[in-house]
Amino acid sequence: MEIPERRSPTKKILIVLGTVILLLAVAAGALIFLVDVNRHKPRIEAAVSDSLGLAFRIDGKAGLGFFPGPHVTLDNVGLRSREADVLRTDRVSIGVRLFPLLRGELAVTEFTLEKPEIGVEKRADGSYNFEKPGKPPGEEKKGAATGPLAFTVQKVSVSKGRVIYRDLATGSRIVAEGVDLTVNDFSMAGGEMGLIAGLSGRGELKVRDLRAEALPLSNVQVGVNASKGVLEFRPVTMKLFGGSGEGSARIDLSGEKTRVETRFALKDFRANEAVSALADKKGAEGVLTLLADLKTAGKTGDEIKRALSGEISLKGDSFSMADPAVRAKGIDIALRNLALGRGRAGGISQELSFLGDVKAGEIQAANLTLSGVSGKIKAGNGIYDLRPLSMRLFGGSGEGSIRFDTSGDKTGVEIRYTLSNFRAEQALAAVSKKKGLSGPMTASPVLSMRGLSADEIKRSLSGAISVRGENLVLQGMDLDEALEQAKKMQQGNLADLGAGLFTVPLGGTLLQGYNYGSGLASSVKKDGSIRILVSDWRVQGGMAEAADVALATARNRMALKGKLNLVREEFDGMTVAVLDPKGCAVMQQRLDGPFANPRVSKLNLLETVAEPVLKQFGISLGALRGGRCEVFYSGAVPQPK
């Protein structure tokens, strides 16, 4: 008698499960061949169109597959708003659960887009072309859904995609190429929350190339986490201007206002690529690092822009520009409390406000070399204040302030500065390639100007300039011997020497193209000394008038009167005189005409020539004039003892 084999409960269960799986596989295989999904295309198109409020079309074939899991494929799919295509893709693959499918239900597990082209447009009213258009009040059916359909998908993926974003209000455009996206546990809340605000999921985004306005980004990789209307992008890495960027961003859509926070560092980017892209200029060189910590909030794009605030810093070992020629080393610029105010007609320069610190180890511009540059900057309402601003220039120490006013139609500049103990020979070499004077001096300009062109700026120039020095060396000329020789010879270019010495504070334009002082220097070649030099000028409307301009040597005192037309670059009645103890002129000469080729009057030596003759008769010039003379100079420079 055979004893029946007894099977354990576990074994029975396994046999049953195996049988079920086999039957399901057979059933699924049958579905692949027997179910014609194309018959349901109109129903699918209608359901999706009604859910999204967009025109959904399947222009290719629809199919049903089983491996690696049950899925529906739709070829050549399009999604269109009233204005333009929102989506065109080669293939949509939709993974589904098998059991619901056997019951005639669709439960989506995976959603894949292959080679999609996505077009996103932001309308002038702030809405997007993919959002379901609202209906006039009273047209909604009672109980009808007013937002997108709610659903959950285990995985959403996009491969080899292209995304184009357009802002119709501003005309801005962003294009992303080579887009790969994977999101797990993706869901959309539906209802009235809104399409973007209702999204949730976590995943990764990769973009091969992304061009946002003038920003050419590449190799973008972003970690994505969306939940309850909050989108977290962390970490964010990319290549930009040859540098490596890394940071994070947070977009909160859960409230009435969109809130954005971002932190970003772009390390070792190339200045030439950045300046070429942003300013359309070439000739920049250097490697820089940018750090940004920004946030904003608003309902509209303009409101979001105005609410921008945060901190930005820029650092670099070196930076240079070809036009204008500028070279800087050890750059460290840090801006905080950054904000954009209400829109103004003048643009961003009038909207921007911030506090900051500016430092540079060295700045070279034209023939000037500034070192140890350090200052604090305050910007607001179109006004940029650098105060205090310190630096070293020509071997001296400078401190003061510079103010730029862009609030009006024409940019205004105000300078209040003191450069102490700079070397005269370095200053002259920089502005005129000459080193006729050496020694320590102090310059104090207080100037304002406003205009759009160089000529307009010169015409508006107003204020005061003062340059003073003591114990200076006049190279290649002993001024006392030169003046004595001029008296004896009754000739010499006294005026052009005065122009060369006294107009130092007004810049190199007066000293170039003409050999000032050559008439006196030619016969006396040894160095001389100037005990004190004062050159103070009043400037108004582009005209500089001598206020207190004089010098003293060991035996003589000289002074200057007259004006300089800085607009026309001409001398205007400029007279140089050698003085007696009372400040009266004993020898004088006048300059007029262009700086580069002035007209020089004859040396006035009338009183000097007559003095020896009068002494033969025991008559002094003072007695002849009744002890009086017309005082030419009464300023701060005393007569030598």
Q: Can you tell me the distance from the alpha carbon of 256 to that of 304, in angstroms, rounded to the nearest whole number?
A: 13
Q: What is the DSSP letter of 631?
A: B
Q: Which residue, among 331, 329, 350, 328, has the nearest Cα to 339 in the 3D structure?
A: 350
Q: What is the pLDDT of residue 250?
A: 96
Task: List the Cα angle 426/428/430 in 5-degree steps.
Answer: 70
- For residues 346 and 407, is the Cβ–Cβ distance under 8 A? yes
- For residues 168 and 121, is the Cβ–Cβ distance under 8 A? yes
Burial 284-299 (b: 16+ CB within 10 A, else e): bebbbbbbbbbebbbe
Q: Can you tell me the distance from the alpha carbon of 77 to that of 81, in angstroms, rounded to the nearest whole number?
A: 14
What pTM, to 2 d.p., does this model score? 0.75
Copy the structure tokens of residue 162.
Answer: 């292209």
Q: Can you tell me the distance from the alpha carbon of 7 to that of 19, in angstroms, rounded to the nearest whole number?
A: 16
Residue 496: strand, helix, or coil: helix
- For residues 62 and 41, is the Cβ–Cβ distance under 8 A? yes
Contacts of 521-524 spanning 24+ positions with Cβ under 8 A: 521/476, 521/477, 521/482, 521/497, 523/482, 523/485, 524/477, 524/478, 524/481, 524/482, 524/485
Over the Cα atoms of the chain, what is R_g?
Answer: 41
**423 CB contacts (<8 Å, ≥6 apart)?**
394, 395, 396, 438, 439, 440, 441
- For residues 256 and 197, is the Cβ–Cβ distance under 8 A? no
Element housing 177 (H / E): strand 173-188
Q: Which residues of the chain have pLDDT under 70?
A: 1-37, 40, 98-106, 132-151, 189-197, 341-347, 432-435, 491-492, 496, 504-525, 606-628
Q: What is the pLDDT of residue 505?
A: 52
Q: Which residue, among 195, 206, 266, 196, has the nearest Cα to 231 in the 3D structure?
A: 196
- For residues 572 and 489, is the Cβ–Cβ distance under 8 A? no
- For residues 89 and 117, is the Cβ–Cβ distance under 8 A? yes
Residue 187: strand, helix, or coil: strand
Q: At what angle do helices 479-489 and 494-502 cross, to 10 degrees?
A: 160
Q: Which residue, among 142, 132, 253, 153, has the nearest Cα to 203 in the 3D structure?
A: 153
With residues binned 3-state (H G I as helix, E B as strand, rest as coil), the percentages for the chain, rounded to 5, are 20, 50, 30
| Backbone φ and ψ of 525, nearest 5° | -105, -10
Residue 390 identity = S
The HSE-up count of residue 128 (CA atoms within 13 Å, CB side) is 15
Q: What is the pLDDT of residue 145?
A: 45
Q: What is the dihedral of CA 434, 436, 442, 444, to 10 degrees?
A: -50
Copy the structure tokens of residue 563.
Answer: 């004006």
